[in-house]
Structure 1
Amino acid sequence: MLRLTTFLKDLGAIRKTLVFVTILFILGIVAGWYSTGSLSEIINQQMGGIRDISEALSKSTSPKWSFFVFIFFNNSIKAVVMIFLGLFVGVLPILFLLINGMVVGYLVHSSMEQGNSLFDLVVKGLLPHGIIEIPAIIIACAFGLQMGLLVLSSLGGSGKGELKRRWREMFRRTLTASVWIVILLFVAAIIESTVTYTLMKG
């Protein structure tokens, strides 16, 4: 049930949802890039909190270990929670994905406006860990949305036997997905707290 082949098969079964949430993430990046007014203020608040945490972790006795622990648990808990918050008809995973996309877009755009190197920011700051972390978050939100769609389908009054089978399969899929998403985020956290941290500090 928890085998990688099972996880990959489950991803194939929700490929349309994966495409949809990927588009939403890209739209979030675009919105963040062009954000103005109240939208910009919201993102600034998000970024301010991230900067405060980053400064505090940098001052710890073992910064790399502190970053790893924070990044891994923060991302893993949020990702798994987003899967099951899909029970609220999938709204929260969608909002979470859009906000994360907006933060990425705003971060890249504002850094460019400040004269920072786009190459350094993307290749050194985002790509090493982001190539794993971002797909893992997108996958989590896709499963969350799938759960929300099943909730809506259940409200439509499908046959009890069929609904029971679909819910059993859904929880099996989300359990498998949760395990592999945590594994992916574990690897991403190692890379972000070592490779990314070293590249950005250098």
Structure 2
Amino acid sequence: MLRFSNFLRDLTTIRKALILSAVLFAGGIAVGWGSEEFEQLLLSQLQGLGEISQELQTSDNPEWSFFVFIFLNNSIKSVLVMLSGILLGVIPFIFLVVNGMVIGFLLKIVQASGESLFDLIVKGLLPHGIIEIPVIVIACGYGLAFGGLVFRSMLASGEKRRGLGPEWRAFWRKLGTASLWVVVLLLIAAIIESTITLWLMS
């Protein structure tokens, strides 16, 4: 039930939610890059991350500190955003857009400062992001699919609502499998980010 092959197969059953998740994330990047209305909000987000990064760098073992923070932060948020889909998918929607905006704004700042955008993407984002970003999109996709199922259950009545029982049971099974592999993949991404990415960007 918890095999990786099941996890991959289950993704095909929520492909519409995954496509929506990817579109929302990409849209957030575009808004973060091009909009000036949210600059203060996004700047405060980046400043907060910068302060945390400085604290971790001054610890006795920076690599271990970065690993623990990155893994716990990403894995806990991802599982919670999957489960929060029960609130009609609102939280995964916001999570995707805001995180996309932060990345888009970061890329915009780097370009405006004259620093190498190529280095940031290839050294700072790609090594771990090739795993981390798709996994976060998948987690949010499950949250959106969860919200969609809740919404359809609210609208259904009588026989139609009872007919959703097998779909609910299947979804809980998929959610359990996805939660496990999301955490495992984010563990791998955290190892890469706290070692290879940290080394490349130092």
Q: Between Structure 1 and Structure 2, how many residues are aligned?
A: 200
Q: Which amino acid aligns with 1:106?
A: F
Task: Give 1:16 deviation, angstroms.
Answer: 1.8
Per the TM alignment, residue 164 of structure 1 is displaced from its structure 2 partner at its CA by 1.9
Partner of 1:33: 33
Runs (4+) of structure 1 exceeding 6 A deviation are none
Distance 2:3 2:162 in 1: 27
In structure 2, distance between residues paired with 1:25 and 1:160: 32
Q: Which residue of 2 aligns with 1:46?
A: 45
Q: Does 1:77 align with 2:76?
A: yes
Query: What residue is the counterpart of 1:67 in the other structure?
Result: 66
TM-score between both structures, scaled by the size of structure 1? 0.97
Which residue does the alignment assign to 2:23? 23
RMSD: 0.9
Q: 1: CA distance between counterparts of 2:12 and 2:174?
A: 12
AA matched with 1:166: E
- Residue matched to 1:197: 198
Q: Tell which deviates more after alignment, 149-158 or 179-188.
A: 149-158
Give 1:195's aligned amino acid.
I
Distance 2:69 2:151 in 1: 35
TM-score by length of 2: 0.97
Deviation at 1:68, TM superposition (A): 0.2
Could you say what secondary structure the match of 2:156 adopts?
coil
Letter of the 1:16 partner, please give it: K
Percent identity at matched positions? Answer: 51
Instruction: Give the match's secondary structure for 2:60.
Output: coil
**SS of aligned partner of 1:60:** coil
- CA distance in 2 between partners of 1:194 and 1:96 (Å): 26
Report the Cα offset of residue 161 of structure 1: 3.2
Give the aligned residue type for 1:146: A
How far apart, CA to CA, are the structure 2 residues paired with 1:135 and 1:28? 15
Counterpart-to-counterpart distance in 1, 2:163 and 2:184:
32
Structure 2 Cα separation of the partners of residues 160 and 27 of structure 1:
34
Distance 1:54 1:4 in 2: 33
Match of 2:126 in 1: 127
Return the alpha-carbon distance in structure 2 between the equivalents of residues 79 and 163 of structure 1: 26
Residue of structure 1 in register with 2:164 after alignment? 163
Query: Are 2:135 and 1:136 aligned?
Result: yes
Q: Return 5+ residue gaps in structure 1 as ranges.
A: none
For residue 160 of structure 1, report the CA deviation from its aligned partner.
Answer: 4.1
**What SS class does the counterpart of residue 14 from structure 1 fall into?**
helix
For 1:93, the equivalent position in structure 2 comes to 92
Q: Post-superposition shift, 1:5?
A: 1.0
Whichever residue aligns with residue 55 of structure 1, its letter is Q
